[in-house]
Amino acid sequence: MENLAIIGSGIAGLTAAIYAARANLKPAVISGKDEGGQLMLTTTVENYPCFPEGILGPEMISLARKQAKKFGTRFYDGNVLKVEKKGEAFEITTEEEKIEAKAVIIATGASARMLGLESEKKYWNKGVHTCATCDGAFYDGKEVAVAGGGDSAMEEALFLTHNAAKITIIHRRDSFRASKIMQERVLGNEKIKVMWDSEIEEVTGDGSKVTGLKLRNVKTSTRSQIKTDAMFLAIGHIPNTAFLKGLAELDEQGYIIATETKTKVAGLFAAGDCADKKYRQAITAAGTGCQAALEAERYLESRQ
């Protein structure tokens, strides 16, 4: 029986592992199919403290993993299919085995929704992005586009006004779903223009970076092209929590509901993007990873 199983090997799971391992809990991390999580998908991270020159996402993860291992963390491969409470303990079913644990931290992240275009994959991180807070600063004085019409699209567009010279929001409908106040801020900002009733058909580029978008008007079927240096997708995220249905309390979008990382199930904790629809940053994921480990440690101590 494991003391503590941590599901997910992104920055939240690895930070939880570092704290739990230093408390001598000998935690076990179940890596999942995307070992290292979202930071493995990016290049330079410029907003994580202590790295004034920036640090490559995969390098951050490699260092965190080394640090977690140094203090005694063990790693399992595979994806978790199910977590069940069996008496006081948990039974975790992966694709390969069953693991029992006294406490569990879920740190499975959230995946950004994509449009599903081949060209969007081709230019991923070469102009196609899913986080303005993370990558907006790379487009100082440039033209960028935002796809979406909800509150997060409004937030992304407003954030991008700090750097970009011009922002075009591409929206499939003739009105936004976003709250009135956010709409007013966006529509009143002279840097932001909206292309209504427009669908993105293709991301165009020169092979190494995005140069434009091909659009189709959904009402008239007219096709057009715009010039842009980047496209920020803001069409939602999918928290990786489907395997928790019936155990943890999830909100309508699937995010884990937790207070100070504690779920309503005793011994079950949540950290990182899977429980955070608001910030979704490496530093906040690491922060809640630390919190979850400290809460798990208290929980395990209280049961001795």
Ligand X SMILES: Cc1cc2nc3c(=O)[nH]c(=O)nc-3n(C[C@H](O)[C@H](O)[C@H](O)COP(=O)(O)OP(=O)(O)OC[C@H]3O[C@@H](n4cnc5c(N)ncnc54)[C@H](O)[C@@H]3O)c2cc1C
CA distances from 157 to 131, 187, 226 (A): 11, 11, 17
- DSSP class of 278: S
Which regions of 43-129 does DSSP assign to beta strands (E)? Answer: 44-45, 55-56, 74-76, 80-86, 89-94, 98-106, 110-112, 128-129
Would you state the structure tokens that stand for residue 59, as one six-digit string? 């390098």
Q: Does 192 bind ligand X (CB under 6 A)?
A: no
Nearer to ligand X, 194 or 282 (CB): 282
Would you state the structure tokens that stand for residue 210, as one six-digit string? 């995005």
Would you state the structure tokens that stand for residue 35, as one six-digit string? 């070992």
Q: Does 45 bind ligand X (CB under 6 A)?
A: yes
Catalytic residue set: 131, 134-135
User: 219: which residues sit within 8 A by CB, 6+ positions away?
Assistant: 174, 197
- DSSP class of 25: -
Q: Which stretch binds ligand X (CB under 6 A): 4-12, 67-75, 164-172, 208-216?
A: 4-12
Q: Does 282 bind ligand X (CB under 6 A)?
A: yes
Closest distance of CB 223 from ligand X, Å: 29
Closest distance of CB 267 from ligand X, Å: 18
User: What is the H or E stretch that residue 58 is in?
Assistant: helix 57-70
Q: Is the dihedral of CA 167, 230, 203, 234 positive or negative?
A: negative
Q: Does 38 bind ligand X (CB under 6 A)?
A: yes
Contact pattern from residue 53 through residue 82 relative to ligand X, giving x for each residue in contact according to CB under 6 A and a dash for the rest:
--------------------------xx--
Q: Does 281 bind ligand X (CB under 6 A)?
A: yes
Contact pattern from residue 89 through residue 128 relative to ligand X, giving x for each residue in contact according to CB under 6 A and a dash for the rest:
------------------xxx---------------x---
Residues 215-254 that bind ligand X (CB under 6 A): 240, 243
Would you state the structure tokens that stand for residue 161, as one six-digit string? 């006004």
Contact pattern from residue 146 through residue 185 relative to ligand X, giving x for each residue in contact according to CB under 6 A and a dash for the rest:
----------------------------------------
Q: Does 33 bind ligand X (CB under 6 A)?
A: yes
Asked whether the beta carbons of 39 and 282 are under 8 A apart, the reply is yes
Q: What is the C-alpha separation between 125 and 214, in angstroms, rounded? A: 19
Q: What number of chain residues touch ligand X (CB under 6 A)?
A: 39
Q: Rule CB under 6 A: choose which of 17, 21, 104, 134 binds ligand X.
A: 134
Nearer to ligand X, 99 or 186 (CB): 99
Asked whether the beta carbons of 98 and 92 are under 8 A apart, the reply is yes
Closest distance of CB 44 from ligand X, Å: 8
Q: Does 32 bind ligand X (CB under 6 A)?
A: yes
Asked whether the beta carbons of 42 and 134 are under 8 A apart, the reply is yes
Q: What three-state secondary structure class fits 288?
A: helix
Nearer to ligand X, 105 or 169 (CB): 105
Q: Which residue has the tokens 């600063």?
A: 137
Nearer to ligand X, 99 or 178 (CB): 99
Q: Rule CB under 6 A: choose which of 73, 130, 168, 198 binds ligand X.
A: 130
Q: Which stretch binds ligand X (CB under 6 A): 2-10, 162-170, 180-188, 193-201?
A: 2-10
Q: Which residues of 7-16 are buried (b: 16+ CB within 10 A; e: fewer)?
A: bbbbbbbbbb
Residues that bind ligand X (CB under 6 A): 7-13, 30-35, 37-39, 41-42, 45, 47-48, 79-80, 107-109, 125, 130-131, 134, 240, 243, 272-273, 280-283, 285
